[in-house]
Amino acid sequence: MTTDDVTTEVCAPRFSPWGPVQSSTRLTDGVWSVGTSTHGGVMVHCSVTEKLLSPAALACGQYHGAFVAYEEDSAWVVAVFEMPQVWPVAFAHRPEAERTDEAIRAELLASLSRWKPEYLLARGLTPEAKHYARYLVSHETEQRRAAHDPDLIVCAEGAHRTGRADVVLVTTADEHQHRVTTASYYAVMHNSSPLLLSACVSAVDELVVEAVA
């Protein structure tokens, strides 16, 4: 019996990291798209991983029994990016114009640049600048949140809390509250940088000036 014979006999997984498998679609030998009652992803049998996946891709997966699993939120893109042979099945539901190799690769690269740039960098590939910039902002924000940074705004409430349309009540990661001007808050919010208190204008100072005037 050849190796190819073995891979074609791989059955769909019955269990996944996300619970019992309720639905499955075979993408190619040893590779399945699966769904559970709450989640899903792509599962690659260990008998074909060496042939289909790079070490960088394997590092992004989760070993589960005889399979390496890639959850459906973002990790699945890593596996599918490395297996162009599964694209006709994985993207069969797309309009014809969106099923070309060029269109699919561009979509996958954009997603990887936004959510899994470390995988691209490990393979010596350059993330797309726009999407990578968003990743870096998200990454910095999560680091600041974990450190309870007093400069990071994590919540904002408008006139229903402040009684004024021109004042926003913000809460920072250290659980302190501050009043800032609505104009400055939205200016920072539409910037690509993390939402920082230091970049806003204190509404307290503005109200003092207003009162003196």
Q: How far apart are the C-alpha atoms of 56 and 45, rounded to whole Å?
A: 17
35 in a domain, yes or no? yes
Is 116 found in the same domain as 73?
yes
| Residue 45: both structure tokens together | 């049998």
Cα dihedral sign, 92-95-100-102: negative
Is 152 found in the same domain as 123?
no
140 in a domain, yes or no? no
pTM assigned to the model: 0.79
CB 60 within 8 A of CB 117: no
pLDDT of 211 > 60? The answer is no
Calculate the average pLDDT of the chain. 91
- What is the percent of the chain where pLDDT is above 70? 91
Kindly indicate the confidence band of residue 10, based on its pLDDT and cuts at 50, 70 and 90: confident
Is 112 found in the same domain as 156?
no
Within 8 A by CB and 6+ apart from 185, the residues are 153, 156, 168, 170, 200
Q: How far apart are the C-alpha atoms of 54 and 61, rounded to whole Å?
A: 11
133 in a domain, yes or no? no
Is 165 found in the same domain as 78?
no
Is 75 found in the same domain as 163?
no
16 in a domain, yes or no? yes
Q: How far is CA 129 from CA 24, 111, 135, in A?
A: 35, 12, 10
Is 20 found in the same domain as 66?
yes
136 in a domain, yes or no? no
Arithmetic mean of pLDDT, 64-88: 97
12 in a domain, yes or no? yes
Query: What's the domain count of the chain?
Result: 2
Is 12 found in the same domain as 109?
yes
Is 107 found in the same domain as 53?
yes
CB 7 within 8 A of CB 1: no
Is 114 found in the same domain as 11?
yes
pLDDT tens track for 148-206: 999 999 999 999 999 999 999 999 999 999 999 999 999 999 887 899 999 999 998 65
* Domain interval for residue 76: 3-127
User: Which of 31, 45, 35 shows the shortest CA–CA distance to 83?
Assistant: 31
pLDDT tens track for 33-66: 999 999 999 999 999 999 999 999 999 999 999 9
3-state secondary structure of 43: strand
165 in a domain, yes or no? yes
pLDDT tens track for 117-146: 999 999 999 999 999 999 999 999 999 999
